Amino acid sequence: MRTLSINKVCVVGLGYVGLPTAAVIASCGVSVLGADLKRDVVETINRGDIHIVEPDLKATIADAVADGFLRAATEPEPADVFILAVPTPLTDGKADVSYVEAAARSIAPQLRPGNIVIVESTCPPGTTERLTQILADLRADLRLPSGRNEPCDIFVAYCPERVLPGRVLTELVENNRVIGGVSDECSRRAVQFYSIFCKGVLQTTDARTAEMCKLAENAFRDVNIAYANELSIVCDRLGVDVWELIRLANGHPRVNILQPGPGVGGHCVAVDPWFIVEAAPHEARIIRTAREINDGKPAWVIEKVRAALAGRAAPITVACLGLAFKADVDDLRESPALHIVEELAMWADLELRVCEPFVNELPRSLARRANVTMVASGERALDGADVVLLLVNHSQFARIPREALTGKTVVDTRGVWCPRRSDTAASFRNRSAAPTRAKGGSLSEEFLLVEPNA
């Protein structure tokens, strides 16, 4: 097989996927131009700094910029490979592919024979074929690929990102990848490109299957989380400790139940399954129901808080621990924690003390509320609080000593302080050392766990 010569890569979109991807390629000694419409993002990166939180990313970007392998600009430039990594939001319940179409239009004038165009944004099935048609319409002088494997000048493939926020730099290199070329030659060339920095298996298929594969992976996770969330609600009704139940069930060699929480957030798992529902509304029944269960969880948590407040004299101080969509990230997109705190902020006679260690200031929706203040640590939030609402299992919160919860009503949506869960090892070694549980499943001598058993 002829080896490609790749001297320059242009990454369009410098967000949670595009920026780390640009960094990893640049750190392999390939010249990378990152294009982003946002001037402040471009300036930040050219200073060797970053605008998102991701472990080790800052140092990798700083090195790549200092070594001259990474540069950012507001417009794409000619390159050997173009990667489109722009958002595909859900707008009015439908996949909004306008950014990815605009990105395709922005690279069209730069295309030269031999170029590879790779779409990494999450897309509904058929999008890569449509983008290929857009490029063909804009560049009638170039032969774009078709599924018929005819000779072409530009090679187009869909290759979804699969990285987990918090582990992005590792997973970009280690994960297996699915590469869906518009033609077989497109797949072959894309494989050669990804071989530069990927250690995982590169599996080839057609573009439509690769698009559906990405959606199916995130819908699979959503369905499994919905199962855990439904179990937590069922267990609450039945007076069973869901965290212990899951730990025990997962001892079965073929059972692996995920963890319940306050709902599903982020820009992927909470969004992508809807693309499948939109594409096959009558057939995608479990997928739709899972979305509804997970979307309904914040309202259930809010009812738990209402129960925790009952009978207390106003004003009541609630410590809200976490706003991010999951542990140890700064991302507030589609965050159920944020949604819950926004709702509580509208209630009369509540003082909310919010701690989100990964964000410097309150989001605008909360900053304008006089009854909401931000504090720097979990312990500060707890000081004088009547109710403690744990929404995100940030490592910092797991380190809060249990004594700090004494006398407070606790709504622990992540099971961080669940006695049987956190004392699992100890309780196996010495059952009598495990905390004792009062009637109703609560640790009433020390603190009350409203969720899951009250």
Provide the binding-site residues for ligand SAJ, judged by CB under 6 A: 122, 161-165, 217-218, 221, 225, 228, 258-259, 261, 264-266, 268-269, 325-326
Considering the complex, what minimum distance in angstroms separates the CB of residue 79 from ligand SAJ?
Answer: 24
Q: Which of residues 213 and 404 has its CB atom nearest to ligand SAJ in the complex?
A: 213
Considering the complex, what minimum distance in angstroms separates the CB of residue 269 from ligand SAJ?
Answer: 4
Considering the complex, what minimum distance in angstroms separates the CB of residue 200 from ligand SAJ?
Answer: 12
Closest CA to 104 of 51, 41, 39, 154: 154
In the sheet where 81-84 sits, what is the strand order? 70-73, 31-35, 8-12, 81-84, 116-119, 155-158, 177-181, 202-206
Q: Which of residues 149 and 256 has its CB atom nearest to ligand SAJ in the complex?
A: 256
Catalytic, out of 123, 152, 186, 268: 268
Considering the complex, what minimum distance in angstroms separates the CB of residue 421 from ligand SAJ?
Answer: 13
Q: Dmax over Cα atoms in the chain, in whole Å?
A: 78
Q: Are 10 and 35 in contact (CB under 8 A)?
A: yes
Q: Are 373 and 354 in contact (CB under 8 A)?
A: yes
Query: 214 catalytic, yes or no?
Result: yes
SS3 27: coil
Which amino acid belongs to residue 110? Q
Considering the complex, what minimum distance in angstroms separates the CB of residue 219 from ligand SAJ?
Answer: 9
CB-CB neighbours of 268 under 10 Å: 26
Q: Which of residues 185 and 217 has its CB atom nearest to ligand SAJ in the complex?
A: 217
Q: Which of residues 192 and 259 has its CB atom nearest to ligand SAJ in the complex?
A: 259
Q: Are 157 and 179 in contact (CB under 8 A)?
A: yes
CA distances from 267 to 16, 276, 324, 336, 389 (A): 10, 15, 12, 12, 24
Which amino acid belongs to residue 380? R
Query: 123 catalytic, yes or no?
Result: no
Give the N- to C-terminal CA distance of the chain in Å, as an integer: 65
Q: Which of residues 70 and 332 has its CB atom nearest to ligand SAJ in the complex?
A: 332
Interatomic CA distance for residues 311 and 316, integer angstroms: 11
| Long-range contacts, 434-439 (Cβ 8 Å, 24+) | none
Considering the complex, what minimum distance in angstroms separates the CB of residue 168 from ligand SAJ?
Answer: 9
Q: Which of residues 182 and 338 has its CB atom nearest to ligand SAJ in the complex?
A: 338
CA distances from 446 to 317, 382, 418 (A): 19, 15, 13
Catalytic, out of 123, 186, 214, 297: 214
Residues that are catalytic: 214, 268
